Amino acid sequence: MPERVLLALIVVIAILGTVPAVAEAVPYAGLALVVLGLVAGFMGGDKADVRERTVIYVVAAGLPIVSDSLDAIAVVGPWVNSVLDGVATGVQGMAVAFVLLQLKTRIMPAG
């Protein structure tokens, strides 16, 4: 449940980060997205199976590439691109947390 709240916060901050007045007033939205992604990843990363981690890795790598193509849409394309880039930043934070948790699992002895 708390991971859902963190993901909802990532989406809200990504949406608010596209509003120019909010982006100027809060210049650290990107940092907030990364921190929320890291926290969400560390909270749920130890319970994540290989399939879930793989989906996060693919989304973290592919979403910014796919969202750049949305700039071709006339009016809303750049806005949607910006929102998806913000969401991708949060997901990339989750992916980093998953990698760090897997490294810890492989380095530290069990028990």
Q: Does 110 or 27 have the greater pLDDT score?
A: 27
CB neighbour burial string for 18-42, b if at least 16 within 10 angstroms, e if fewer: beeeeeeeeeebbebbbebbbbbbb
Mean pLDDT over 50-69 rounds to 92
Question: Quick one: what percent of the chain has pLDDT higher than 70?
Answer: 97
Question: Quick one: what percent of the chain has pLDDT higher than 90?
Answer: 54
- Token pair of 73, please? 């849409």
Q: What is the number of other CB atoms lying within 10 angstroms of the CB of residue 98?
A: 22
pLDDT score recorded for residue 1: 65
pLDDT score recorded for residue 111: 58
Mean pLDDT over 57-62 rounds to 94
